[in-house]
Structure 1
């Protein structure tokens, strides 16, 4: 009698391991979904924002950037390549922000359904459910903040203008030295700002300590407010925030021809860092056509 041979277990082919790049991407995605990763990325964003407060920024203070470049010829080119003179538009800030929002979104994609299932089960409601909901609401607020920033960029504008002490500036598109407007920006308010007085104080080393502008705001020819603008203390009127980004020199230059004619007698704005500021004077009527007088000074 021949006994039947025992049945052999089915041999399954070994599962193929994913190729190395796929494994790396899977691990990276697994780490990115962790809330710890989002917190680390948020800390990096905060550090970049601090750098933006220590270095002059092109949108707010182009003359300060020019002065920094003149004073630090070794480090300024590297900072410029990294975009540190316009930190909120630089590639390190944008990449970090995208990764942070991706991390928060991926984490919420997992946590929100889990919290919903716990809320639907009475036995699970008292086990840290409200703490989980509070955490989800907190992280969702980052997306609300993102929407606000995007809308502010699209509906707002950023402009710079140099105003000499005693002169006025009308808030209109044509009066800015440089202007960047969002796609949804509305018409400008058209009010007038008059700079009555400017004062500056310095540390014993000669570095600027504070500078203040006393201004009056007119709207439709009527005085509506009198304000003091200081460093980090702006004035807001009709939705327009007026900052004082820097200061410089505007000496009154008088140029006369040999026969006594006054060719130029006005304040001339010198741009750049106050210690290295330079200005340009042009008097087309200095001589017979096509002769002109032009000069540059530091």
Structure 2
């Protein structure tokens, strides 16, 4: 393959469409699939495809190398497309350029039209007039020829900002229980979770989840805000997103007399090691509204605590010794120890991100908006006036432009005595 052929393929419309579809597909995955969580979360919640999710980096779509390569190729493709069309557009905004009308262009000429009056109306409308031996040519909004290139430039800057932010962004994930405080000393503030709650639909499924947060800054009055999915919190250029939630369960281990020996807090899929008895307590899952499937597997019907139970697996010296399903406060005795889960609390999962591509995105958005305005509102308009002929030339909205010109012609028509 020659270099010229490679460049043509690299800057082709077909490749641009393919890249756009792939980027959109990855973005959908990143929106639908919770991002930035531990590998165990995907293995547990997506047992058939959990390994594939982490291998293909679908758990961190926007920072994956696949997504970055797609963005880079799209930038190169769009830049190449823009450079190919830009010389022709620059030529069209020069005063000497005037396109030829289409062979089937409608002739708007009227027998009683006053061409001098028509010319005056065009000048008032800020048309540039060029006289020639056959009549005159009128042009307006030549700058609109650059609309697509300006739009492309805006898109390139937006994607470039996303690419730079993607590489250099500072991001992370953390869980919080109500009352917890998460410090960000590098940014000079802390977050306190005042409350976390779920909102349910009529069928009991989760509709939305909310985190009530207080921003703590030394020497500044505390401020509070609430975040939910698609409603992040921004503190000093750091964005906080509501991304997940779960249950944390309180485990108590006591001796045969009931004296509390040790306590711990477990999330689903976590283990607690009690060294004196060489016991490992594995919380297979907390099920707020438990039912048993036909295969004997416990599942939860909803996240509402209507029939809460704990599925627990016990190991001694690494060997499986017992499996139990317990209700809240229900004790399970193994040798001289008693185990019980007393209650569970909702915790929130929050992702934070400081994106250095913000200014790029803002500038790119402004340029893209300008390009769209040039393309759809200030598109080039040409009028060719010759003996017995008035024809319009425009690349879009031909019917509307013809209607405007016809009105001007009618105003300039000679009045019969």
TM-score category of the 2 structures, normalised to the smaller one: 0.5 to 0.7
Q: Name 2:175's counterpart in structure 1.
A: 162
Deviations 1:186-245 (A, max 9, x none): xx2132211121111344665432111212221117542111121221111122212222
Give the structure with higher Rg (CA). Answer: 2
Among 248, 270, 274, the alignment partner of 1:279 is 270
Distance change in 2, residues 1:257/1:171 (3 Å): farther
**TM-score between the two structures when normalised by the length of structure 1:** 0.68
Q: Name 2:227's counterpart in structure 1.
A: 229
Q: Which has the higher contact order (CA 8 A, sep 6+)?
A: 2
Q: Name 1:115's counterpart in structure 2.
A: 89
How far apart, CA to CA, are the structure 2 residues paired with 1:234 and 1:243? 5
Q: Name 1:197's counterpart in structure 2.
A: 195
How far apart, CA to CA, are the structure 2 residues paired with 1:55 and 1:159? 16
How far apart, CA to CA, are the structure 2 residues paired with 1:46 and 1:262? 54
Structure 2 counterparts to residues 1-298 of structure 1, below 5 A: 21-22=1-2, 27=5, 29-35=7-13, 37-57=15-35, 59=36, 62-63=37-38, 66-90=40-64, 92-120=66-94, 122-124=96-98, 126=139, 129-153=142-166, 155-172=168-185, 188-203=186-201, 207-220=205-218, 223-256=221-254, 262-265=260-263, 268-270=265-267, 277-282=268-273, 287=276, 294-298=280-284
Distance change in 2, residues 1:127/1:98 (3 Å): farther
How far apart, CA to CA, are the structure 2 residues paired with 1:225 and 1:261? 43
Deviation at 1:257, TM superposition (A): 5.0
Task: Name whichever structure is richer in helix by fraction.
Answer: 1
Deviation at 1:250, TM superposition (A): 1.8
SS at 1:246 equivalent: strand
SS at 1:253 equivalent: strand
Deviation at 1:162, TM superposition (A): 1.5
Gaps of at least 5 residues in structure 1 are: 1-20, 173-187, 271-276
How far apart, CA to CA, are the structure 1 residues paired with 2:188 and 2:9? 52
Distance change in 2, residues 1:205/1:90 (3 Å): farther
